[in-house]
Amino acid sequence: MSTPNNSLQMIAYSIQNLLTLKDDNQKIHFDRLKLQVDIVANELRLGSIRQSELDIIHNTFTDEFLNDSLVGHIIRKPYGYNEDFRITDAIHDNFLSDDYPNWDRLIHASSIAKSIKSRKEYFKNYLTHKLNKSTTPKKMLMIAPGSGRSLLELYKRVNPNLKTDCLDLNKNSIHYYRGLTQEFSNQINYINESIHSFNVTEKYDMVWIEGVFEYMDDVTFVNTLKQIQTYINNDGDIVISNISKKNTSKNIMEILFNWQCTYRNRLELNNLAIKSNLKPSQINIRKDAIGINSFLHIK
């Protein structure tokens, strides 16, 4: 194998061209870049390219690009992970940077962006239906709620008789969605702590987790789910989202954006739930409207 790999060099060259071209001249070059990414993804699966060699691609981007675009933010991971609060809110707002809008459109057209938007609607619809049927106050734990946009829109829609604890290890995330949801601060509590060290003093009616478990391996998934089961009361339920394997943007995400997820189908989610000491009768797996997200419902 040559060093660096010719396919990687081709992508690096395409990136250099795209960073200098004006918007009107970019489409054909983006189409070519996508084909080159598919070739590299296949070579990576076959073992002719090592994961570490992908740095050749990411090092091609200029500092200006990395600092001024959504793609650059995702590659840099300034908060330690791809799907941070700024990215999720930028996706909800369809944000485009001034200098690199076509690069940002790659994000908005991706399956991960569609999954983030779709699970927000699923969250609002499910909770609205559930809360409208209830005549008693409810208490929910929301783990790592992204930007807080889902929670804000839920409260604006129904202003529910609902107390929510938001648990997040990242102080920057808490600061962001505390500001976003300020008008409902009397109903929302913010806790800067890890899932595993969290001390529950009062059981919850619901635990909601989205955009978390697809970044866990199977062992961590099982251990974390066992822990979360201790957080709910006897009639409580847990809902966990996980992006499915129907991700047509997988190659772009992994090769170009350096964005890794663990995709799971219904059978895999069911098996992991069983390994977490749950009975089949407690497990219900649903899809969102566009079929990208799976939701593991546990009662």
Name the DSSP letter for residue 52. G
Name the DSSP letter for residue 36. H
Q: Among positive and negative, which fits the CA dihedral 126, 129, 132, 134?
A: negative
Secondary structure (3-state) at 183: helix
If you average pLDDT over every residue of the chain, what do you get? 92
pLDDT at 3 > cutoff 50: no
Place of tokens 């908060």: 79
Q: Which of 55, 107, 103 is nearest to 86 (CA)?
A: 107
Where do runs of H (alpha helix) occur along 47-170?
55-58, 63-68, 70-76, 85-92, 101-108, 111-133, 149-158
4-17 tens-digit pLDDT: 468 999 999 999 98
What is the model's pLDDT at position 65? Answer: 95
Place of tokens 């739930």: 273
pLDDT at 35 > cutoff 50: yes
What is the model's pLDDT at position 2? Answer: 43
Secondary structure (3-state) at 263: coil
State pTM to two decimals.
Answer: 0.91
Q: How many CB atoms lie within 10 A of CB 246?
A: 16
At 84, list the tokens: 């941070």
- Residue 107 neighbours by CB under 8 Å, 6+ apart: 70, 71, 74, 91, 113, 257
